[in-house]
Chain A
Amino acid sequence: MVELERRGIATAAVATEPFVDEALEQARLLGMPDYRMVYVPHPVQLLTLDELYGYADAVFEKIVARLTAPAE
């Protein structure tokens, strides 16, 4: 995602919650300390399709917020 940001591509990367600390440290190490990810609850492997879609629905606005900027 840092590679894409460097090329002018706004990104929203999604991970499950246990990855918060790792993501922040990784972003710092890669030179974009302000990069933030979007998180869904953990675990996801055993969810039904409906439940997984529910997680997607729940974080969609956060994804939109990561991808867009507020109007001036």
Chain B
Amino acid sequence: MEYVSPFDERRRVAEPLAERPVSLEGTSVALLDINKRRGDEFLDRIEELLLGRGASTSRITKEIFSKPAAPEIIRRIADRGDLAVEGLAD
């Protein structure tokens, strides 16, 4: 019996992840705060630890956690940095 599916059954071609550097030394890491409570404090500590590993850091916050990050934020991170840490989703 043939039915019309309510789902979009397209198979998405799996895309590769970005390349990774061998170490954090000398990299710049953007810390993207998704703007849920306690996220900034969590990222404060991660930032401290990253600095201890020889990375440089920058902080960015999403306008609202429940929507995807605005294109300008993505662009800013992509232009500026090598790496990103995003948090904290609870």
Contacts and interface: CB of A to CB of B under 8 A. Distances in A.
Contacts, number: 129
Interface residues of A, number: 44
Given A10-B84, A57-B49, A19 B21 contact: no
Contact of B38 (A6, A31, A34, A44): A44
Nearest to A11: B84
B12 interface: yes
A50 to B, nearest CB: 10
B15 A69 contact: no
Interface of A: 1, 3-16, 19, 28-35, 40, 42-45, 47, 49, 52-53, 55-57, 60, 63-64, 67-71
Given A9-B82, A56-B45, A67-B24, 20 more contacts: A4-B84, A6-B18, A9-B30, A9-B78, A9-B81, A9-B83, A10-B84, A12-B83, A14-B89, A15-B88, A15-B90, A32-B14, A33-B14, A34-B14, A35-B17, A45-B90, A64-B24, A67-B83, A67-B85, A68-B24
